[in-house]
Amino acid sequence: MPSHTVVPGRSGNAIRHVMIVGGGTAGWMAAAALARLTGNGVTHVTVVESEAIGTVGVGEATIPPIASFNAMLGIDETDFMRSTHSSFKLGIEFVDWGRQGDRYMHPFGPFGVDMEGVKFHHYWRMAHAGGAPEPLGDYSLCIAAARRNRMALPSNDPQTVLSSLKHAYHFDAGLYAAYLRHHAERNGIVGIEGRIVDVALRGDDGFVEAIRLDDGRRIEADLFVDCSGFRGLIIEQALKAGYEDWSHWLPCDRALAVPSASVGPLTPYTRATADRAGWRWRIPLQHRTGNGYVYSSRHISDDGARDALLAGLDGEPLAEPRALRFSTGRRKQQWVKNCVSLGLSSGFLEPLESTSIHLIQSGISKLLALFPDRSFDPLMIAEYNRLSQTQFEQIRDFIILHYKATQRDDTLFWNQVRTMDIPETLSRKIELFRSSGRVFRYDDELFSEASWTAVMLGQGVMPGTWDPLVDAINPHALARKLAGLRNIIACTAEAMPTHEAFIARYCAAG
């Protein structure tokens, strides 16, 4: 046992040293957020990373809550976007998912306006059944702007349609980690370079005591935050948390990533194009485009995936494609004893809805909300694990929906995912929506009713009917209201500057 000097603190039992293991996106996000702990004069935080091992560094597309993470750190949006070569993201365009030739958008903002406590899409459904041909997307400002390559900042006035604009970012993940590192170090976080070769556990209770580096240094800490990537250096290799494998639902297990030269207009959305044995991403940044093919190695060879990826690029490739392997799933216990895992070490759902960086952010918020002292109350640990399990499973279901709700039968891959058994939680959601358009959010679920609606309708799950409360509205009055909404959304989008012009004015890099 190390000798513990009792220091003044809430109970004299405060955490004195937090060691973050890993300096990828997860490690530096955690460091930047935990820097605030150092203000108590007791706790210090270090980050250990190994340049020789490197980082995954391909997380480039995000979802809107990242803006609140940056704001919590006091980061200015313009400065951050300039430094990370960011572009704006208003949603994701899905190509060829429901059927080949289909195209739909999952926007970040809502559809239309809810009326009389009823979700807007029920009114749309009734009008649609009456012959109105306009797609639900015509009632989303995010979609209207994205389709026109336009961008503006949202308004704070809830009375205006501009308040329905919600955005996230596409950024260079390496630059984001460097940006956060700078921020964290300015706030007292210490970075240590070295490869961890051993993890020492305490003999009496199996808690992590120290790590040993390849140069022989031994460093002790009270709390370890495992951000070591897929290997799960502490949480799995030392503490054997166990992994719940979800590859029977999410069979993609490899990816190839390649940057390409920017061509054409700078689109304010990510594109996800379904392919023979998975899907390809396209993420436009200010200085280049990020591309990748996420695929199932049982359904396509690496060479086949490479050819499909390169054939689908808009511009010249700027490097050789980089290969990544993974198993979709989650660590069974994401917090074990005195180790909390964040990022890829805690699990990985594939990048289809850009949720990994969000899961890091959400793990950090939970850790701060349940920040322990050296007694490591098992109730706090259990609560953390319960909350993370719920969140991972909810996001898992949303991602599986994209595969399950397809009508494609052109390859073995699509036949497999179309006909697979799915979690009961998801089949209940699909059936409820199919029968009556109802969708409910449980336990602070990440994806909103609008998100579920966008993907279900986009992939051909059409509600059989609508909320009966909608029947009270006069169909002519509804038609007039809908036409007015479409008009104001289209006019507002038309009046916005192009995404490119907006970035040039607001946050142009270098």
Residues forming contacts to ligand FAD in the complex (CB under 6 A) are 22-27, 48-50, 53-62, 173, 195-196, 227-229, 231, 233, 255, 257, 292, 324, 326, 343-345, 351, 354, 356-357
Tokens 């976080």 belong to residue: 189
CB of 371 to ligand FAD, least distance (A): 20
CB of 442 to ligand FAD, least distance (A): 23
SS3 340: strand
Q: Going by DSSP bridges, is the β-strand pair 168-170/190-193 parallel, antiparallel, or unpaired?
A: unpaired
Residue 280 pairs in a beta bridge with 273, 293
Q: List the one residue out of 290, 266, 268, 269 whose CA is nearest residue 280.
A: 290
CB of 290 to ligand FAD, least distance (A): 8
DSSP classification of residue 24: S
Q: Going by DSSP bridges, is the β-strand pair 44-49/243-245 parallel, antiparallel, or unpaired?
A: unpaired
Q: How far apart are alpha carbons 2 and 17 in whole angstroms? A: 13
Q: Is 365 left (phi over 0), alpha (psi -120 to 50) or beta?
A: alpha
Annotated active-site residue in 89, 166, 366, 404:
89
CB–CB of 370/380 below 8 Å? Answer: yes
Q: Is 89 an active-site residue?
A: yes
Residue 492: exposed, middle, or buried by beta-carbon count in 10 A (0-12, 13-18, 19+)? buried
Q: Which is nearer to ligand FAD, 105 or 485 (CB)?
A: 105
Tokens 């998912």 belong to residue: 97
Q: How far apart are alpha carbons 296 and 252 in whole angstroms? A: 4
Kindly compute the dihedral angle of the four CA atoms of residues 32, 344, 96, 315, in this order, to the nearest 10 degrees.
Answer: 60
Active site residues: 89
